[in-house]
Amino acid sequence: MDDMRETFDTLRRINMKLNPSKCSFGETEGIFLGYLVTGQGIQANPKKIEAIENMTAPKKVKEVQSFTDKLAALTRFLSKPAERQLPFFKTLKVCLKQKSFVWTSEAETTFQEM
């Protein structure tokens, strides 16, 4: 309670107002900035994980870009994220250079392992 009192005093002092519909107090867990925050710490958002698990192999450059963006949001929860994403970045580099889409077997193998 002391921390909340101090926070509200600071907000009043700088004349900052909060939107009550966006505030919640006493929660044990919740989504904040796209992450699941619990008493155990910060965890990956289950909806983001599910979105990646349900993806089909990309068939266009934009789909590879979308996939790498989704993985980037979860990099803090992946071991060796750069190594895991390297085949996708190689694929993007080749596709953008040749201006045609080529989904390599290395990229497919890595995609299936994700």
pLDDT in 10s for each residue of the chain, 114 residues: 888 899 999 999 999 999 988 888 888 888 888 889 988 999 988 888 888 888 899 998 899 999 888 888 888 888 888 888 899 998 888 888 778 888 888 888 888 887
Asked if residue 52 lies in contact with residue 74, where contact means CB atoms within 8 angstroms, the answer is: yes
Task: In whole angstroms, give the CA distance from residue 60 to residue 71.
Answer: 17
| β-bridge partners, 31 | 36
Task: Look at phi and psi of residue 57 and say left if phi exceeds 0, alpha if psi is from -120 to 50, else beta.
Answer: beta
105 HSE (CA, 13 A, CB side): 0
The pTM score is 0.66
DSSP state, residue 99? T
